[in-house]
Amino acid sequence: MAVTVGLVAQIIERIAPKSWAEDWDNVGLLVGSGAAPVERILITLDGTLKVVEEAKAYGAQLIIAHHPIIFRPLKNLRADNAAAQVPLRLLQHSIGYYAAHTNLDQSIVSSSRALGELLELQEMKFLEEPEYDLIPIHKRAEARGYGVSGYLPHPEKLGVLWTGFLDRLGQSDVYAQPYPLSGVRLAGPLEKEVRKVAIVNGSGGRFVPKALFKGADLLITGDVDHHAVLDALEGDMAVGDLGHFLSEAPMLQTMYQYLSAEKALQGIEFKVSSINQPPWLL
């Protein structure tokens, strides 16, 4: 029996139901048909034109991405509309596009959890769990939340910890392939003792108050703005900014592993995009 796009979607939604996504998000099958057969799948963070061409060259019938390609209102599919180019090219090549975004961020295969495991965090818990009293009953679920927090096996100086963490990133299999560790920043006294660490993949500036409340000595995230860093430092918390891509890329590997291990998908070929890379050079 042929594997379809719809079956792949169901398997992803076992661990990241679409109902978990934020109201402003756009997840699920964004281009293509759920009934379309699948033999090869390309996994990526971003759905760029180059990634679409990579999928075509690979012979993929489906792209599974973290970031949606139709996010703001798309008013037309004209050839001179830059925002329409990726959907148009996908349709031209008969390639489906499935996005798992904020729902995947809250799942057990999130990059936050993968990075926490790399640091061997103990007593690891979600940093921010849903306020279930504010969530409709049909949208409630267990084992869900943004980010993680936990304790290092033993306290370390910030400078030593950060250098060692970056070395681990470069040598570990947390990424599906080697990426240049570019655009990485650290704020805080290098001699500061770090015991508790909070990690949030993606743009994590809004989690500074939550990490401070949870007593974190260090927040590792991406895209932290100037004022959020100042707030963290005022609260005696250091901040490690991996940038958006590097903080989320571990999900490419965890998604690959999850789908590859699924019995219903045996015989399907998977590939992590080699075109999709961090945008920063230095």
Q: Which domain holds residue 52?
A: 5-102+250-272
The reply to whether 76 falls in a domain is: yes
Whether residues 129 and 55 fall in one domain: no
Whether residues 203 and 109 fall in one domain: yes
Whether residues 212 and 261 fall in one domain: no
Whether residues 63 and 142 fall in one domain: no
Q: Are 182 and 258 in contact (CB under 8 A)?
A: no
Whether residues 51 and 126 fall in one domain: no
Pick from 10-19, 56-65, 129-138, 176-185: least confident: 129-138
The reply to whether 171 falls in a domain is: yes
Whether residues 149 and 221 fall in one domain: yes
Q: Give the CATH number for residue 186.
A: 3.40.1390.30
Which pLDDT score, from 0 to 100, does residue 72 have? Answer: 82
Strand 62-65 vs strand 146-157: parallel, antiparallel, or unpaired? unpaired
Whether residues 202 and 112 fall in one domain: yes
Whether residues 153 and 232 fall in one domain: yes
Q: What tens digit of pLDDT does each residue of 220-268 get?
A: 999 999 999 999 999 999 999 999 999 999 999 999 999 999 999 999 9
The reply to whether 73 falls in a domain is: yes
> Helices 111-118 and 158-171: crossing angle, nearest 10°?
110
Whether residues 132 and 186 fall in one domain: yes
Whether residues 234 and 127 fall in one domain: yes
The reply to whether 152 falls in a domain is: yes
Q: Give the span between the Cα atoms of 234 and 203, in whole angstroms.
A: 20
| Whole-prediction pTM | 0.93
The reply to whether 92 falls in a domain is: yes
The reply to whether 277 falls in a domain is: no
- Exposure letters 180-217 (e unless 16+ CB within 10 A, then b): eeebbebbbeeebebebbbbbbbebbebbebbbebebb
Q: What tens digit of pLDDT does each residue of 95-145 get?
A: 999 999 999 999 999 999 999 999 999 999 999 998 754 555 555 556 799
Report how many domains make up the chain: 2
Which pLDDT score, from 0 to 100, does residue 40 have? Answer: 98
Whether residues 74 and 164 fall in one domain: no
The reply to whether 278 falls in a domain is: no
Whether residues 98 and 110 fall in one domain: no
